[in-house]
Each structure stands twice: as C-alpha cells, then as structure tokens.
Structure 1
Amino acid sequence: MQYEAILAPVDNFADSWREFVAAGGKGANITVPFKQQAYQLAEQLSDQAKQAQAVNTLYIDKYGKLCGDNTDGIGLVMDLRRLQQKLAASTVLILGAGGATRGVIAPLLQAGVANIVIANRTLSKAQAIADMINQTVNKEVKQQVQAADLAQIPDLAYNIVINATSSGLMGERPLIAEKHLQHCLLAYDMLYGAEPTTFLRWAKQSGVPLQADGLGMLVAQAAESFYIWRGKRPEVEPVLSMLSEQLAR
C-alpha cells in the first residue's frame, strides 16, 4: 500500500485523478482547492458530501463507480470526543461560514448537539448554511441551527466555541465579545501549528479551561477515510503524538 502527495494543476484536477487511476490508484484524500472539483467529478455522493457540497475522500466502489465522501465533520466529532467533550444537549458557537463550517454542522447535530449558532461577518452566508441544514437534515426541530452576525451573536450558554475562519493565518481572531466565552468549556480552532493561534491564546486569557487546535481533527478525518478505503479504523493517538512532536521541533 502506498499513500503519497500528488500535486495537481489548479485548473485540471480531473485529468490528474484519471492519471492516478490509470496508474492503479484506488482512493484519494482531496484538499483545498480541489474539494469542490472532486464533488463535481464523483458519480455517487454520500450524505455528508452532499451536505458539505465538497468531497475530501474519493474511492472506486466494487461496481466501478467513483464515490465521493466527506470525513471532515466526523473527524471533528471524533476529536471533540477524544477531548472528552459532552456533545449531547450542548450548545455550540461556530465562527465562520465557509466550506469547513458547512461540512461539520450535520455530524455535530447527529452527535446530539442541541443548538448551533453560526456567526459570520456576512450574515447571508451563515443564513444560507443554516437554511440548508434546517431544510435537509434538521426538518423536525427548525431552531437547532441559527445564523448571526459576528457583532450580534445571541446570548446563549455556549459549551464549545469553534473558530472555523482563517483569521489565525494572519495572526488575528474573529472579533467577538468575551461574554460569549463565559460558559465555554472548550475553545477549538480548526487551524493548527507549532504555536497556539491568536484565538486560542485569547480564549485562555479569558478563562476558558481547555483549548485545542485542529490537528486532532486532521488525524481523525484521515482515520475515517482509511476506514472507508480499507475497512479498518486506525488508532488516532500514536499519529497525533508523532505529528505534535514534529510540529514542536
């Protein structure tokens, strides 16, 4: 078994995939900026991929069909459970309304999260995700997912606050009021690196007892992809420890 990185041209992902298959490839992880192109290329899509409108896992099934899945949301839920967070009946605030957010909402609801607020600078983008989820996944309880402007986040007791924006790449954080961290048990940033992001440092200074970056989500979504391909789910902890050590060097 071989697993290695392939650099595809930005405007020609489809041919790169076909060349990979012709050389004997059976499945692949897809990263930015190709997740939407993989979504269009797949002949059959999982519910998770349809909800995310993006594919991060491709494979050819026993009938020869190209199947697309998205394991990002499952990876997040697995990592939150690794961090011993209680998801059932919890209230979660997600900052940002990009593809990362779209991919994790349904798995969080399926894990038992009671209320999700998506807060974004552009309210319409957050509202589009909330409407899509409420119309497809969450038909019975319409109020589980709601949208908000970053400056007008509802005053709820948020157990988990997740930063799904790329603000940390610029050394910044989403500008939300500190009061929204009052009940927060975990501040989670989907970005990861050798040092805590600005958002995580701010959360720690604000008294949030636990902070975590997205490295665990990265490893967990990869484990789920491996399970799709091979039928076996690898242990996450040894890989996470190894990557953490590499980042710290």
Structure 2
Amino acid sequence: MTGRVLVLGGTAEARRLAERLVAEGIDVLSSLAGRVADPVLPPGEVRIGGFGGTAGLVAALDGVAALVDATHPFAATMTAHAAAAAAVTGTPLLRLQRPGWTAQPGDDWRWVDSLEQAATAVAGARSVLLTTGRQGLAAFAGLSAHCVVRSVDPPEPPLPVRATVVLARGPFGVEEERALMTAHDVDVVVTKDSGGPMTAAKLTAARELGVPVVLVRRPPLPGGVPVAATVDQAAAWLRERGTTGRPATPSRP
C-alpha cells in the first residue's frame, strides 16, 4: 500500500505523527476540527473544518491509503464517523489514543460518566476549577459555587453564574497549577480523563494540596478498530500496511 495518509488531528500525538510521516517523505494530510481559534499546526498539508458527517468523510477518503484517527479521547462523534467511513470505503483505520491517567498514592479521584454527573458530584462545593474545555459548560450553569473556567478560547455560554474565566494555553507546570488553585481557594477540580503529561500537572497539584478531583471517564471506542497508544506504534502499523517513505530517524512516542 502506498499513497496518502489522512490524520484526523488536534492532539499532540497527531502533530508528532505528522512530523514523523513528513520526515519520512510520506504524503500526509492533517485535518483539524477548527474549534481552536489559533491552533498549533502540524507540518505538511493541513485542512481545517468539519467534513459534514460520515458522508463527507467518505468522499474525503477518495485516494487515501490509510486513515489515522488521532483526535481527542473525547471526540466521540468524529471517532464514530471515522469508523463508519472506513467501513464503507474499506480504508484501513487506526485509532491513535494515548492511555488515560492512573491514580497515584494520595490522589482523591471520583469517577463519573458525564459532565452532568460531574456537576452533580460538585454541587456542594465552594470553589470549583473546571478544566473540561470551552464546550459543555452548560452542564455546570446551575452551580452556585464559584467556578474557575479555564480554556484556550472564550468559553461558550451558558456559564455558571459565579464564573471566573481564565484564558490560557498549556502545558502548565505544577507550580502554576498550585498557584491557580490556591489563589481561587479551589476545593475541587473537574476534568476529563484526557491522559498524557501535557495536562497532568493539575492532578499533581491537587494531590499536593489535598484537593479532590472529579474525573469524567472516556467514551467507549467503536468495536473492531485497532488502537495504538503511541506514535511509534502508529508508525509501525502504517509500515506493516506498506505506507512507504524514507527511512525514519528515531522519534519519541
């Protein structure tokens, strides 16, 4: 198999995979949803915006030799569209998804299955740090607690009545996270199980401060789709399917 690789991106893993493929001389197209106003672009050709559902993605797969879904672990709709479009077209599909977080000694984690359940879990809190992204905040609109809402771009309303919006792009260090929680007297953190080291500092800071964390579980993946946990594994999967290019130099996963 030779030809173009379509990478559904928006994550650090997607960018690193695109870097690796471009360095190997492979024709790669990265697709970003366009939800962030100023995204960090990967090398190679990039398209920004949705496909228009499964049918649009089916059309976009014309001439594509392999599809790698490296979207965010909570981009369930796009992941479902990728699985459906790959099935229709017979395009080899790989899900590249970093592992979720693992609790460490001293962590106080409370697992929930949705943002709505997370809002219920923190209903009695005094000050909540919300790091669930700018979408889906309507689930927390009824909270009476002071809510510190952090996102890259301005969040979508409705917001909690007592909301402090912090616009910032990570990664953040442990000291930054500890300072933010201390400054706002945060007594509970709400986040999604995104996994990876780039956003894990808040978990360390919460552990050090004795602050509980409400974690939203990841949505299930479509059945029958192979999953790679690292960029190395994804590159190996592509090699096994005959995607060709110049010999690769070692790359961190």
TM-score range, shorter chain: 0.3 to 0.5
Give TM-score scaled by structure 1 length.
0.37
Give TM-score scaled by structure 2 length.
0.37
Structure that is richer in helix per residue = 1
| Greater relative contact order (CA < 8 Å, ≥ 6 in sequence) | 2
Instruction: Please say which structure displays the higher CA radius of gyration.
Output: 2
